[in-house]
Amino acid sequence: MARELAAFIQKGGGLITVDDLSHYEVKEREAVRGTYRGFEIISAPPPSSGGTALIEILNILEGYDLAKYGRSARAMHLTLEAFRRAFFDRAELLGDPDFSKIPVAPLIDKKYAREWRESIDPAHASPSKDLRRPASFSQLEQFARLHPSSMRESQHTTHYSVVDPDGNAVAVTTTLNESFGSGVTVEPLGFLLNDEMDDFTVKPGVPNTYGLIQGPANAIGPGKRPLSAMTPTIVLKDGRLSLVLGSPGGPRIITTVANILMSVVDYGMNLQEAVNAPRFHHQWLPDEVYVERGTSPDTVAMLQQMGHHVVSEDYWSDAECIAIDLKTGERLGTSDVRNNGKAVGY
């Protein structure tokens, strides 16, 4: 297979060799872990940015009583400000941990989140260009100076969640990046080639396919793995399996999972309601709030009054999730109404 693959790529002008393929190995990495309002969050570590960004977002939001506000413009504003700050850190600090020092522990520290909260104006949007990392976290400031900031990921990823009758759970996100990857099928072998090179920082300050600005920690280099936004997540309550979450959606994967998790924990929705609810997204740059069709016009108007630049779009992502009834142990599969998937029991 390696010889056929390398020969096909070279025939098309590509650079990959049999020797390159022989040196590739799967990396097993320790999951990142955090907590949110009594739930334990277990998610994807670097070179995925998903778990780190998700936990940083939740840490910032844990300091607000979102349940009191409900799914209001005020709650959305606070959530968007948390998204903005996590994606700011993502752009400057995250990459392949085999090649760059990735400060995961400081980023998911609750003290760091408290410092970020102090910079959030509850009534006004923070201009992304004016964000400054909390000064007390000198380790991150020093890292950012050593790796100065530069700045789209695919909407055609697949996620599936599985829980067996014994309670073993997997959350799997896999991707070719853009739709059909590179658009090239390896003729003798019958599978598509990805276009994951777009997930690297091609040039500092230049957005990728999905508008993401990324830093030197994610620069292209031999043997490196590109930064991802995939966020397969398992949630425990009192040590027991509660939720299995994940979605495609490029950078919107992170905020999709956060939207669903908050809708269940903070807003009291069941998992299907949480998956169906209109989503919203901010990724630092471009400095825009994306909202799904169906978002209340009054909410949009209030966000605009706070200084957010709101862009209304069609639906995105495809969350395929499972909730466990902690009283009965029943598995409740949830498929996204935005697409044609379905939950299957066995």
pLDDT tens by residue, 5-44: 999 999 999 999 999 999 999 999 999 999 999 999 999 9
User: Which residue is associated with the tokens 């499972």?
Assistant: 322
Give the chain's mean pLDDT: 93
Local structure of residue 129 (DSSP, 8 states): G
User: Tokens in use for 121?
Assistant: 């104006």
Give the CA distances from residue 51 to residues 9, 10, 129, in Å, rounded to whole numbers and listed in that order: 33, 36, 25
Residue 20 belongs to some domain of the structure: no
Cα 255 to chain centroid distance, Å, stands at 6
Q: Residue 245 has what pLDDT?
A: 98
Beta bridge partners of 233: 43, 245
Number of domains in the chain: 1
Strands in 331-335's sheet, in edge-to-edge order, are 32-36, 39-43, 233-237, 240-245, 320-324, 331-335
Q: What are phi and psi of 128, to 5 degrees?
A: -60, -35
Q: Are 77 and 20 in contact (CB under 8 A)?
A: no
Q: Quick check: helix, strand or coil at residue 183?
A: coil
**Torsion angle in degrees (nearest 10) through CA of 46, 200, 261, 305:** 130
Residue 91 belongs to some domain of the structure: yes
Residue 261 belongs to some domain of the structure: yes
**218: alpha, beta or left? (left if phi > 0; alpha if psi -120 to 50):** alpha
Q: Are 280 and 79 in contact (CB under 8 A)?
A: yes
Domain assignment of residue 225, given as a range = 31-335
Is pLDDT at 146 greater than 60 in this prediction?
no
CATH number for 226: 3.60.20.40
Please give the Cα distance from 283 to 274 (Å, whole number): 21
Residue 343 belongs to some domain of the structure: no
Q: Which residue out of 79, 157, 231, 233 is catalytically annotated? A: 157
For the segment 168-192, what is each residue's pLDDT rounded down to a tens digit? 999 999 999 988 999 999 999 999 9
Give the CA distances from residue 130 to residues 20, 88, 94, 336, in Å, rounded to whole numbers and listed in that order: 43, 11, 20, 36
Give the CA distances from residue 146 to residues 48, 92, 135, 217, 258, in Å, rounded to whole numbers and listed in that order: 21, 10, 16, 10, 30
Please give the Cα distance from 61 to 149 (Å, whole number): 25
Share of residues in the chain with pLDDT > 70 (%):
94
- Greater confidence (151 vs 221) lies with 221
Q: Residue 141 has what pLDDT?
A: 60
Residue 288 belongs to some domain of the structure: yes
When mean pLDDT is compared across 58-72, 89-103, 129-143, the lowest value belongs to 129-143
The answer to whether 17 is a known catalytic residue is no
- Reported confidence tier of residue 151, pLDDT bands at 50, 70, 90: very low
Residue 17 belongs to some domain of the structure: no
**Cis amide bond preceding 97, omega within 30:** no
Please give the Cα distance from 263 to 296 (Å, whole number): 16
**Cis amide bond preceding 106, omega within 30:** no
Residue 345 belongs to some domain of the structure: no
For the segment 202-221, what is each residue's pLDDT rounded down to a tens digit? 887 888 888 888 888 999 99
- Reported confidence tier of residue 143, pLDDT bands at 50, 70, 90: low
Please give the Cα distance from 106 to 113 (Å, whole number): 10
Residue 178 belongs to some domain of the structure: yes
